[in-house]
Amino acid sequence: MIIGTAKESYPADEALLTTAPQRVWMTIFVIALIAAPFVLSNYWLYLACLAMINVISATGLNVLTGYTGQVSLGQAAFMAVGAYTVAYLERSLGTPFLLNILAGGVIAAAIGLVVGLPSLRVKGLYLAIATIAASFILHFVFVNWTAVTNGNSGATLAPATVFGIELATYDRLYWLIMPFAVLLVWGAANLFRTRIGRAFIAIRDRDISAEVLGIPLLRYKLMSFAIASFYAGIAGGLWAYLFRVVTPESFPFLTSIFLLAAIIVGGMGTILGGILGAVFMTLTPELLRVVVDLASVFVPDAATLLSPVRTIVFGALIVGFLILEPRGLTEIVDRIRRFFRLWPFRT
């Protein structure tokens, strides 16, 4: 039970983690992150890499949709921009991989600024449609600008190398992707401790009074689009190094919906929500597959019988979350925290 958090200074109260249990959990989490490549099998490491890429992209989308209230269905297209940027730079110029990934983020952010322009005039579903339009235009560009993208046959690229070591295996790629995920999530959390993050939430909650408080709407909406696209670009760049081939179908429109579903399931407008949602959406189909595999010991032909069921169960889980837990997985975490705050006394 926590009786109170007695802070003696304002900086202590403004810290990201304010209670002892939070710090303990964070320590455990960090140890798990570092230990993972030594413990997990190759396949699960691949899934961890994929989950972290999705965490980065979902966190970016959460800044835009969850915190700023601008619905976007273009996140996958921005990931593709990042991936193609990395592929092009790696193939044509052979620049260092860190620079390539950053360039992917920056170029995606620049395109995000343009795509964000309609947001001053249109809101909600209309803005969502505008972002869909943008992502189909980008898809067209990927297919037809063959000089850069190699068109439908796709662009293959060499693995990232650091001091002559090729980051070709998942345990090595993990050390490329994990720091990016940690840094970007931490940065997003920091954003909402400052005036910039507050301005985003103000625009989401009540844009007119945000303007009276001296928040220029267009500048902040565009900033939010740029941040979301930057995160998507970085995620796409990492994705390119993970799969080493980028085609126009690598980031289908469905990925945008997948990411939107991730932040809804995880909890819109919370940093933890982006993480939990992306991990849940990436790993649940795999966990269900493991269940099917276990079942096939007892039931012959389980794989053929149960794999369609797997998709249905996954869909049902998402629908169930929307109905039973509309504020997402973070709400479950909060409820557990509230329970232990008063434990062993009952409310």
Which residues are near another protein by CB under 8 A?
10-11, 13-14, 187, 190-191, 193-199, 201-202, 204-206, 208-216, 223, 227, 269
Which residue, 216 or 326, has its beta carbon nearer to another protein? 216
Q: How far is the CB of 46 from another protein (least distance, A)?
A: 29
The CB-of-243 to another protein minimum distance in angstroms stands at 28
Residue 300: burial class (beta carbons within 10 Å; 0-12, 13-18, 19+): exposed
C-beta closer to another protein: residue 21 or 216: 216
Contacts of 221 (CB under 8 A, 6+ apart): 68, 70, 116, 119, 120, 203
Give 193 or 335: the residue with its C-beta nearer to another protein: 193
- Find the helix packing angle between 124-144 and 75-88, rounded to 10°: 30
Residue nearer to another protein on the CB measure, 172 or 198: 198
Rounded to an integer, what distance in angstroms lies between the CA atom of residue 285 and that of residue 48?
13
Radius of gyration of the chain (CA): 21
Q: Is the dihedral of CA 263, 266, 269, 272 positive or negative?
A: negative
Which pair of tokens denotes residue 281? 């959406």
For another protein, the closer of residues 22 and 146 by Cβ is 22
Sign of torsion, CA 229 193 262 246?
Answer: positive
Q: Least separation, in Å, of the C-beta of 12 and another protein? A: 10
Least distance from another protein to the Cβ atom of residue 148, Å: 29
Q: Which two tokens stand for residue 265?
A: 């399931």
CB of 213 to another protein, least distance (A): 6
Q: Which is nearer to another protein, 320 or 326 (CB)?
A: 326
User: In the complex, what is the shortest distance from the CB of residue 197 to another protein, in angstroms, rounded to a whole number?
Assistant: 7
Query: Measuring CA to CA, which residue among 59, 66, 89, 86 is closest to residue 227?
Result: 59
Smallest gap from residue 121 Cβ to another protein (A): 16
User: Tokens standing for 270?
Assistant: 């919370």
Minimum CB distance to another protein smaller for 248 or for 267: 267
Q: Report CA torsion sign: 97, 184, 56, 51.
A: positive
The answer to whether the CB of 83 falls within 8 A of the CB of 104 is yes
Distance of closest approach, residue 193 Cβ to another protein, in angstroms: 6
Which residue, 13 or 166, has its beta carbon nearer to another protein? Answer: 13
The H or E element spanning position 89 is none
Residue 165 identity (one-letter amino acid) = I
24 membership: H or E segment, kind and range: helix 20-39
